[in-house]
Structure 1
C-alpha cells in the first residue's frame, strides 16, 4: 500500500478574485491556498468582506477565480466552461442556504425532487429518492406539507434533504442556521454532523457563529481576502 498522501477532494492554489477594473477594482481574494480531504467537515469564518462568501461561490461553481487554480478530484475547474461547471454542480455538489429557498406552493416532497427533475430522473425514481432523503433528515410522514405548514427548522431540513437527494460529494452550507432560533440551530448542526460522520458527505459551511463552527472538525478563518487561521477542532459527542 502506498504511503503517499491521498489527493485532496478540493484544492485551491493561489486563488484570487477581483471585481471591477482600474481604480474601482476590489480584490476579494488575495491568493488563497486551501485543501479539503474527502469526508471533512470544515467551517469557514471571518468578518464581513473577508472573502468567505466569495470562496464558497467559487467552490460551488457559481463563480470563477480571476487567477489561480481550483481542482476538484484533480480536475481543473477554472478551465471548465459554463456547461461543464453546471454538470459538476448538478452531480457533485449540494447547496443549503440561510433562507431555505423552498418553493412556497410546493410540497416538501416536490421541493426535494427538483434537483432530480433537472437531471431527467423518472417520476418513480424521483418519488422514492425524495422520500428516502426526507426520512434521512427526520421528516418521514411530512412529504405532502408545504413550507407554510412547517417550522423554520423543518423547512431547513427539507432544504438539506433537497441538497442530499442527488447523493453529492460535497454539501456547501451558507449560514444554514442564520434564520433559526438557538434550539433549531443546534438540531440542524447535529444533523449536518450526522450526515458527515455516517454518510461520509464532505461539508463546507460558512458561519459567523462560533458555537455553530464548533460542530465542525476544522475552522478556516478568512481576513481581508486571505486565510488567517486554519485550526483543527476536537471531535464532540452528539
Structure 2
C-alpha cells in the first residue's frame, strides 16, 4: 500500500455537536484522519471519546457539524440523504455487535437482503449469497435460521451479508462483543482474511486490546480528538490461530 496513493477516506477538521446552548455536547472537536485503501484500522477509546460518532459519520449514518468528509474524493457532507444511501449501498458494508439478523429468515435470505434492495434478480441474489456464505465458512448452512446457529455462526452470516455487495469498506462496530474468546478470535481471523485476500478496507471499533492487535493501525480517541495514531505489527502480534476460510 503506497503512501503516495490517494486516500480512500479523508476527514478534515471534522466536528460534531449534539444539542444546542448549554445542553450542547461536542462529540468531535476537529479531527483529521486519512484512511488508504486496503488498511485494517482499529478505532479505540473510552466511552464518550468520539469513536462511535466518527464511525457513524464514516458510514454515512450521520453528518458532521463542520469540516469535510471525502470518500474517493467526493465531498460526502454535500450529498443529500438519497445520495448518501446509495454510497452506503454500493461501497460500505456493516457488521454490528448484535448481529441484527432477521429471526425467522434463513441465513441465505438474510445475506440476500442488501441485493434485494439493489434490485438484483433472484438468480443473482441466490448465487451471490451462497458464495458469500461459503467465503465465511458456512457452506451447507444456507437454510438454517439464526435460532439454529451459534453466536459465532450468526456473526459469520452478518459478515457474509456485509460483503455480498463487494464493498470497498467494511465498518465493524464491536464485532466480537457478544462472543466468547475462541469465537472472537475466529471472527477476527475472518476479518483479517477478508482484508488480506480480498483487499477490503476494514475499520473496526473495539474496546478489547487483543482484538485490536489484529489491526495494522490503531487510532485512539480521547475527548473527541485523535489522541494517538500508530502503525502496528497486526496479526503477527497475535498468537497463532486457525486460519479462517475465505474465498
TM-score above 0.5: yes
* Rounded Cα–Cα distance in structure 2 between residues aligned with 1:33 and 1:198: 29
Q: 1:198-217 counterparts in 2 under 5 A?
A: 198-217=197-216
- The verdict on how the C-alpha distance between 1:29 and 1:105 changes in structure 2, with shifts beyond 3 A counting, is same
Q: SS at the partner of 1:168?
A: coil
1:139 counterpart residue number: 138
* 1:119-169 Cα shifts (integer Å, max 9, x gaps): 000000000000000000000000000000000000000000000000000
* 1:31-64 Cα shifts (integer Å, max 9, x gaps): 0100000000000000000000000000000000
* Rounded Cα–Cα distance in structure 2 between residues aligned with 1:43 and 1:192: 12
1:223 counterpart residue number: 222
Pair 1:98 & 2:97 matched: yes
2:24 counterpart residue number: 25
* Rounded Cα–Cα distance in structure 1 between residues aligned with 2:165 and 2:233: 30
TM-score, normalising length from structure 1? 0.98
Query: Are 2:217 and 2:234, in contact at CA under 8 Å, matched by a contact in 1?
Result: no
2:113 counterpart residue number: 114
Unaligned runs of 5+ in 2: 242-247
Q: SS at the partner of 2:228?
A: strand
* Rounded Cα–Cα distance in structure 1 between residues aligned with 2:59 and 2:234: 26
Q: SS at the partner of 2:234?
A: coil
Q: What is the count of residue pairs matched by the alignment?
A: 236
Q: SS at the partner of 1:236?
A: helix
Distance apart, 1:66 and its partner CA: 0.1
Distance apart, 1:4 and its partner CA: 8.5
Q: 1:34-45 counterparts in 2 under 5 A?
A: 34-45=33-44
2:13 counterpart residue number: 14
Distance apart, 1:236 and its partner CA: 2.5
Distance apart, 1:6 and its partner CA: 1.5
1:71 counterpart residue number: 70
2:245 counterpart residue number: none
Unaligned runs of 5+ in 1: none
Query: Are 2:28 and 2:53, in contact at CA under 8 Å, matched by a contact in 1?
Result: yes
